[in-house]
Amino acid sequence: MIYIKYRLDKSKFHGIGLFTGEDLKKGQMVYTASPLLDVNITREQFDQLDEKEKREIEYWGFWDEPNNLWHVDFDVSKFINHSHEPTLTQDQNYQDAYLITTRNVKAGEELTQNYLEFETEEDLIKRGIQVK
């Protein structure tokens, strides 16, 4: 769930991005996982999907190795694009997704996360995301 004012717009990183609609302070909470807006899919459930559904899960979600699940967000957090200089990071004090700002962020800036916090370089390459 997103806890700030935001807008969706064209991203310089990839397709559509999530942009803050307000100034944010370093360390401010922006997103937490929501049992109502996130879906966790077991390997067995994933294997029962047709190929089109699998591609959708692989594109919008990620394999959560520690929990042995596919995780997919169905709120606007799925528009947080990858960057090696992100504006958001996972707060290490929480096991579930809990994104905080890496620095002060001005209204209008795109919110990004380094996907290597939860995916491998190989996963990113498969999705067409530049890793270097």
Q: In the chain, what are the domains? A: 1-33+75-118 (2.170.270.10), 38-71 (no CATH)
pLDDT digits (tens, 9 = 90+) for 8-49: 999 998 899 999 999 999 999 999 988 888 899 999 999 999
| CB-CB neighbours of 43 under 10 Å | 11
Query: Residue 92 has which token pair?
Result: 């290490």
pLDDT digits (tens, 9 = 90+) for 107-119: 999 999 998 887 7
